[in-house]
Structure 1
Amino acid sequence: MDLFSSHDDNKAVDSLVINGEFMQTGYPAHVHEDGKGVVIEIPDGRLYYAPHYFTESQSDGYLQTLLACDGINPDCHDWHNEDSINTLPFRYIRWQQDQVTMFGKTHNLPRLSAWYGDDDKPYTYSGITLQPKPWNDPLIALREALLPICKRGFNSVLLNWYRSGNDHISWHTDAEPELGPNPLIASINFGESRRFLLRRKEDHKIKLEIPLHHGSVLVMAGALQHHWQHSVPKQAKVKGNRINLTFRNIKG
């Protein structure tokens, strides 16, 4: 399957590497052998970044599938004021509104989520334990699309739905014990472009920003999760939906 569709796309990938560095950041980079993305070498980690790994038509199709809900147009619906997310008739993904308790108060997370994977692989983060829902055809197809890059399968995927630029995720690492040492995390993005930020845990002045577009893929590898935090900040001007899927392996 040809996921990358045109000569112009190849030019766009080539332009990400300038004098052997990723977008003049000082971090060594080179075009991956697949021609679809670049490899970025950062201290204690490695990134693969393809700004348009999937074609626009494929990306449109996946976005519609992941948000499909009987009787609702996802592009027009006011999802932020929807009180029944957990009971709506979504066709493929059982989206839910998770909550966290801090300082004695319970708050909705500023995004919606879903956890899919092998039936014996629950996942706990920020005090929330997610029980996996079974794999379906769209998620299996996306998992298989990552095989040429990652050279491995995944037993779980966390989906986050950012309903607008007001939805976000704060600084964190994906270093939970059940992910094992030096986990490989593969991220697929559909919908609105959003900023993805990385910073060194021991020196927050050391940062890297990568724009995640409709159909992009970002893979984080090596010891990155132990030395770098990442976030998706608020962007008030962004009005549309963005879906992020992070494929991972739960150990044990």
Structure 2
Amino acid sequence: MPQALQASLWDGVDPPALGPLVPDRAHLDATAWVDVLPGWLTGADDLYQQLADEVPWRAERRQMYDSVVDVPRLLSFYRAGAALPHPVLAEAKQRLSAHYGEEFTTAGFCFYRDGGDSVAWHGDDKGRGSHTDTHVAILSLGSPRPLLLRPRGGGPTTRYPLGHGDLLVMGGACQRTWEHAIPKTARPVGGRISIQFRPHDVL
């Protein structure tokens, strides 16, 4: 059962709506960057609750060394052409495509129910992302959780707390040369839903 969501004091707009798409860019190195826009989506807490209740979430199990283990989050995936579960998400995908000059075609949803849910260090470097600069956009709803970034192979970690309608876009060579993760935490935290918009053949 997800922890109760502590709503943002600044997020009282109904229905959910997107603000201007004017992110701040941080260069991770000469070839990789992230754009960050806090609170791009207002009314995010209402949308969080709707998605938590209505998205067809599934639990997965994966092979880990000699065992099969539970994936520590719930998942849902909307393929290219599939109707997204709220019109504002379709608008977000369209506006991101226009802004970055690359069509975002799919949307992956992750539901971090509490501090025990997480995702390990990884890059979205399968398919075209393994050899081509591309974009991955993450829209976060619900309670903030830190997204960590570090150079592939290890190095200093950069931390972005994301929740309540925040947007983070990874671009350039980020998926090939950097890794990102959502760590577990022992602190009591509310649920968070992460929506990852990706272009064709970026996995």
TM-score normalised by the chain length of structure 1: 0.66
Give the conservation status (yes or no) of the 8 Å contact 2:23–2:35: yes
In terms of Rg, which structure is larger? 1
Return the alpha-carbon distance in structure 1 between the equivalents of residues 17 and 58 of structure 2: 33
Aligned to 1:186: 137
CA distance 1:143–1:187, shift in 2 (3 Å): same
Q: What's the offset of the Cα at 1:110?
A: 0.5
Residues 2/100 of structure 1: CA separation in 2 closer, same or farther (3 Å cut): closer
How far is 1:205 from its partner?
Answer: 2.6
Task: Quote the RMSD (CA, aligned, Å).
Answer: 2.3
SS in 1 for 2:186: coil
The residue identity in structure 2 corresponding to 1:189 is S
Q: What is the CA distance between 1:140 and its match in structure 2?
A: 1.8
Q: Which residue of 2 aligns with 1:3?
A: 18
Deviates more, 1:207-216 or 1:173-182: 173-182
Distance change in 2, residues 1:141/1:3 (3 Å): closer
Match of 2:52 in 1: 67
* Structure 2 alignment gaps of length 5 or more: 1-15
Match in the other structure for 2:84: 136
The answer as to whether partners of 1:38 and 1:48 remain within 8 angstroms in 2 is yes
Deviation for aligned residue 1:212: 0.8
Contact preservation (8 Å) 2:51, 2:85: no
Corresponding residue number in structure 1 for 2:183:
233
TM-score, structure 2 length as denominator? 0.81
Correspondence 1:116 to 2:82 = no
Q: C-alpha distance in 2, partners of 1:165/1:251?
A: 31
Give runs of aligned pairs for residues 18-33 of structure 1, distance below 5 A: none
Q: Cα distance, 1:41 vs. partner?
A: 1.2
Structure 2 residue identity aligned to 1:250: H
Q: Does residue 100 of the first structure (1) align with residue 62 of the second (2)?
A: yes
Report the Cα distance in structure 2 between the residues aligned to 1:148 and 1:62, rounded to whole angstroms: 23
2:121 alignment partner in structure 1: 171
Residues 52 and 153 of structure 1: CA distance in aligned 2, closer, same or farther (over 3 Å): same
Sequence identity percentage: 26
Task: Give the deviation of 1:249 after TM superposition.
Answer: 1.5
Partner of 1:222: 172
2:195 equivalent in structure 1: 245
Say whether the 8 Å CA contact 1:179–1:249 is kept in structure 2.
Answer: no
Segments of 4+ moved more than 6 angstroms: none
Secondary structure of residue in 1 paired with 2:41: coil
Deviations 1:148-171 (A, max 9, x none): 643443111111100001101111
1:80 corresponds to = none
**Residue pair 2:129, 2:175 contacting (<8 A) in 1 also:** no
User: For the Cα contact (< 8 Å) 1:185–1:221, is it kept in 2?
Assistant: yes
Residues 62 and 235 of structure 1: CA distance in aligned 2, closer, same or farther (over 3 Å)? same
Q: CA deviation at 1:217?
A: 0.2
Tell me: CA distance 1:178–1:36, structure 2 relative to 1, closer, same or farther (3 Å).
Answer: closer
Letter matched to residue 37 of structure 1: P
Aligned residues: 183
C-alpha separation between the residues in 2 aligned to 1:117 and 1:179? Answer: 17
Instruction: Give the distance between the partners of 2:34 and 2:172, measured in 1 at CA.
Output: 9
Structure 2 CA distance for partners of 1:163 and 1:186, relative to 1, 3 Å: same
**In structure 2, C-alpha distance between the alignment counterparts of 1:233 and 1:249, rounded to whole Å:** 25
What residue identity is the alignment partner of 2:92? L
After TM superposition, give the deviation of residue 143 of structure 1 in Å: 1.7
Cα offset for 1:144? 2.8
The residue aligned with 2:23 is: 37
Between Structure 1 and Structure 2, which shows a larger proportion of strand residues?
2
Look up the SS of the partner of 2:34 in the other structure. Answer: strand
